[in-house]
């Protein structure tokens, strides 16, 4: 399962040189976005790869392009409208991308995406950055959703709660402290391929699969 070249199964990327370049390039772009947004008092944010330690959870579907998933966490904002929040962040991202010679970002239901890029030397696998806008409150993690209707004026923007995410950080800490991270890698990959086989990835973004994995293992192993 998960052999490179099989276009219908996820596998973990093993090319360390490619992973290092991928992390460095994408982290630089995302960090620039954070700095750009935090220049003023409209929104304050932080950003990180999905799931602390997600550098060990980067998957590729066969030999297809790779998406590197980040959460952009809203710490505080003067904007009350979800549409305004997303549009503001997209405007800031376009400034950063243009400065680096990348094309404008694209808006989807649950993430903001860059265009696909590839390195000029070495592994030529295409890659892009997907950024989910999230916030955390006493109920857990919430993700900003853009429900597209086909008519821009009728589109809905709202916060959607990630299921069972309230105690995520504590459970991750327990799993790591008890040396069960290898189990996370196994179950996470199994779940990614399960939802791929069901053609249900749209409803199960990487962060939700990660939460589901952590909760399942915590309940099973504790």
Task: Give the residue among 128, 135, 99, 100 at the shortest CA–CA distance from 114.
Answer: 128
Q: Which CATH class is domain 10-164?
A: alpha beta
Statement: residue 160 has pLDDT above 50: yes
Strand 66-77 versus strand 127-137 pairing type: parallel
Measured CA to CA, the distance from residue 91 to residue 113 in angstroms comes to 13
Beta bridge partners of 33: none
Q: What pLDDT score does 53 carry?
A: 58
Measured CA to CA, the distance from residue 128 to residue 126 in angstroms comes to 7
The average confidence (pLDDT) of the chain is 91
Each residue's pLDDT tens digit, 44-62: 999 999 865 566 788 899 9
Of 5-19, 23-37, 83-97, which range is least confident? 5-19
Statement: residue 6 has pLDDT above 60: no
Each residue's pLDDT tens digit, 122-155: 999 999 999 999 999 888 899 999 999 989 889 9
Each residue's pLDDT tens digit, 60-110: 999 999 999 999 999 999 999 999 999 999 999 999 999 999 999 999 999
Residues 6 or more apart whose Cβ sits within 8 Å of residue 167: none
């Amino acid at each position: 399962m998960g052999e490179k070249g099989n276009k219908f199964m996820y596998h973990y990327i093993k090319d360390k040189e490619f992973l290092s370049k991928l992390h460095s390039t994408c982290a630089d772009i995302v960090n620039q976005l954070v700095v750009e947004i935090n220049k003023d008092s409209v929104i304050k944010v932080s950003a990180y790869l999905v799931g602390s330690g997600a550098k060990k959870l980067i998957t590729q579907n066969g030999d297809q392009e790779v998406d590197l998933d980040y959460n952009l966490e809203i710490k505080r904002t003067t904007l009350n409208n979800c549409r305004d929040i997303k549009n503001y962040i997209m405007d800031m991202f376009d400034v950063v991308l243009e400065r680096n010679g990348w094309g404008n970002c694209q808006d989807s239901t649950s993430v903001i995406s860059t265009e696909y890029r590839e390195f000029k030397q070495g592994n030529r696998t295409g890659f892009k950055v997907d950024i989910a806008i999230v916030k955390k409150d006493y109920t857990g993690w919430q993700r900003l959703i853009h429900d597209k209707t086909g008519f821009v004026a009728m589109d809905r923007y709202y916060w959607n709660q990630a299921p069972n995410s309230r105690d995520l950080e504590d459970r991750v800490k327990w799993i790591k402290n008890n040396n069960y991270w290898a189990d996370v890698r196994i179950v996470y990959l199994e779940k990614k391929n399960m939802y791929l086989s069901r053609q249900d990835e749209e409803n199960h973004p990487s962060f939700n699969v990660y939460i589901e994995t952590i909760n399942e293992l915590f309940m099973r192993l504790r």
